[in-house]
Structure 1
Amino acid sequence: MNMKTNYIARAGVIAAVYAACTLVTMLFLGNLAWGPIQFRISEALCALALLTPAAVPGLTLGCAIANIANIALSGTGALGLLDVVFGSLATCVGALFTWKMRRHPAIALAGPVLANALIVPAYLPILLTGVGFYTIPFTSISLDGAWPLMYLFGLVTTGAGEAVIMYVLGYPLYRSLAKTHMMQREVSEVGTSR
């Protein structure tokens, strides 16, 4: 298989696994994959960007697919497009940072944490209001005029959830995969440290 075909195939597999993991999380763990407090287990796959550049488009596409499916499943309608565009952007930025910083895995895994913590809370109040939430979750503070508070709340909760996923699940996933023969070959080609 030539390099371009291999790259596209890897990106496609990563996209499919990300989308499937996100949707399974939604089906079995309720709304833990969406909302102001997120434990999107599929985000652990961002650690794959330490091993292959194909993870960047694969994760981005997988996130877009999962968020499009969420529109149909949750009934967010056109407002769900905010999550498709900006949620996928956050995943793309995080994965790209991870790939660029791959020689320093512990630092690289902070990319998805920071990208999601900074981007997702920026549009979350619009999405929450659109689906019928009018207060900051777990408080009685109205979203009307409290968007800076909601952004701060989202920054902390989304960032904390992403950090747990990246360092508790993503880092061990990376370490395990980096030990496989197939990934060791990839690692030697792209120059990732272990």
Structure 2
Amino acid sequence: MSSKSIARAGVIAAAYAASTLVVMIFLGNLAWGPVQFRVSEVLCVLALFTPDAVVGLTLGCVIANVANIALSGTGALGMLDVVFGSAATLVGALVTWKLRRHPAVALLGPVIANACIVPAYLPILLQATGFYTIPFTSIALDGSWLFMYVFGLASTGAGEAVIMYVLGYPLSRSLSRTPYFKDMSPFHCK
């Protein structure tokens, strides 16, 4: 990697980690939990413009998830989120980069990756941190991993879709018109 690529990845990592932690500190568990709107995931649109975003987003997710261990007290179980949550961001960003010529389709990468990967470990992590029922319901998590996975698939996928398409797609269109991103734009704006 060139020094420019390293710097770009570092800035993206810092922006992702900082925005995730700001949301967590000021808006509670909006970035974590059974119903997620991780606003920092909007930065996955940067993978439409540069492969450096794949590295930066993954590193930023690792940093945010490690910091969450300290802030939330999840202990060793928080490593599930560090490993698998960061893997979901890696896969989503990589798919976005690979499919960048079709931005609307490319943004499905983070939606599908997070919807499929995060709910697989989330029930374990939630029970360890004191969530024993699915929010807004009285459905117990005990012994219902499959149900919680399906719930997580829907809720995490819906939350990620809102972030990527309501916030991310317009952001990517706007960025593609700026001088810095214009030459890297998958939208081929003039």
Does structure 2 retain, via aligned residues, the 8 Å contact 1:102–1:193? no
The root-mean-square deviation of aligned C-alpha atoms, in Å, is 1.1
**Residue 41 (structure 2) pairs with residue 43 (structure 1):** yes
The match for 2:107 is 109
Measure how far apart 1:134 and its partner are. Answer: 1.9
Residue 145 of structure 1 corresponds to: 143
Indicate the residue corresponding to 2:94 in structure 1: 96
Partner of 2:75: 77
What's the % identity of the aligned pairs?
74
* Residue of structure 2 in register with 1:159 after alignment: 157
In the alignment, what sits opposite 1:175?
Answer: 173
Contact 2:96 2:107 in 1 (8 A): yes
Q: Which amino acid aligns with 1:181?
A: P
Q: What TM-score do the two structures reach when normalised by structure 1?
A: 0.94
Please, which runs of 5 or more residues in structure 2 have no aligned partner? none
* TM superposition outliers: structure 1 runs of 4+ over 4 Å: none
Aligned equivalents of 2:122, 2:9: Cα separation in 1: 28
Kindly provide the amino acid, as one letter, of the partner of residue 175 in structure 1: R
The letter for the 2-side match of 1:133 is F
> Residue 166 of structure 1 aligns to which amino acid in structure 2?
M
What are structure 1's unaligned runs of at least 5 residues?
Answer: none
- Counterpart position of 1:14: 12
Between Structure 1 and Structure 2, how many residues are aligned? 188
Which whole-Å CA distance do the structure 1 matches of 2:97 and 2:34 have between them?
27
Partner of 2:183, secondary structure, is helix
2:50 to 49, 52, 55: 52
> Counterpart of 2:2 in 1: which secondary structure?
helix
Helix, strand or coil for the counterpart of 1:186? Answer: coil
CA distance in 2, matches of 1:186, 1:9: 17
Q: Determine the C-alpha separation between the residues in 1 that align with 2:105 and 2:184.
A: 20
